[in-house]
Structure 1
Amino acid sequence: MAKYMLIMRATDETLAKMMETPFEQMLETVGRFNEELIRAGVLIAAEGLDDPSQGVVVDFAGEQPVVTDGPYGETKELFGGFYLIDVASKEEAVEWAKRLPALPGSKCEVRRVPSIDEFPQDNEWVALERAWRERTGQL
C-alpha cells in the first residue's frame, strides 16, 4: 500500500460554477464520494481549503521572506482541497481521481507521498520524526 494525494485544481470558470451550486447539493455530492472512499477503506484525510483571498504567500525569493496577502497567483496555480488515500498502486489512485466529483474544466494532480521508511533510518532527524509518529499513532 502507498499513500497518494489527490490535489484538486479549479479554473475561474469552475470556481464560479461551484459558487452557483447550492451548498446542500455540493455537500451531498462530495459526501457520497467520501462515503465510497470510506467504504473502500482507502481514505486517510480529505480537506477543502478556504478562499484564496483569505490566505497569504510567504515568498523566499529574496534575502528575507516577503509576505503577501491574497488573492495571489493565477487560479491555475492554486489548489482548492485534497484527498489523502492509501491504495495499492498509482493506477488505483488514478482510478479514484477519475471518480472525483469535479466540475468540467477542473484538474486533479495525483502525487505519491513517500513513507518515512524510504528515508535513511540512521539519521537523527528521521529517528526523531519516527518517534513522534509512533507517539501520536501515525506509524
Structure 2
Amino acid sequence: MAEGITRILIADDHCVVLDGIKAKIAEHPEFEICGVAMDGLRAVELASSLKPDMVIMDISMPKMNGLKAAQEIRRMGMGTRIVIFSMHNAPEYVLSLVKTGISAYVLKDGPISDLISALKSVRNGGSYFCRPVQEILSKHSTP
C-alpha cells in the first residue's frame, strides 16, 4: 500500500474530531481524505462505493457502531485497512475489534501523533496499537 497516495475514509460522529483529523492529515501529502461518514451505516456504504485504502473508525456512532461497521467492511473483502480511533479502552472492545482484523487501535485521549504514527505504520503494511491497548492485549493473550 505504500506507493502513491493513501486514500482515507473517516467515520466519526463528532464534527470537532473530524475537523481535527482532517487538519492533521492535510499536513501529510501521502494521505488523502476521500470521504467522511458521521454514522456507521454511512461508513459501510462509503467504504463500498469509494473503496478507500483505510478507514479511521470511531466505535460509538449512531445507526451502526464501529465494531459492526468494521465487521461489515472486512466482510466485503476489499482489503481496506481499519484504524480504530476511540475513547473506548475496555478489554471487550479491544479484543472484539482485534478479532475482526483491524490494523490499528488508537485512543482519543492520547496525542494526535499516535494517530499519524498508526496511519504511517498501516500504510507501510504494519499495524499499530497504542500503549494502553498493547497492555490490554498482553494481559489477555493466550500463552
Is the pair's TM-score, using the shorter chain for normalization, greater than 0.5? no
- Greater RCO structure (CA 8 Å; 6+ sep): 1
- Give the strand-richer structure, 1 or 2: 1
Report the TM-score, using the length of structure 1 for normalisation: 0.28
Report the TM-score, using the length of structure 2 for normalisation: 0.27
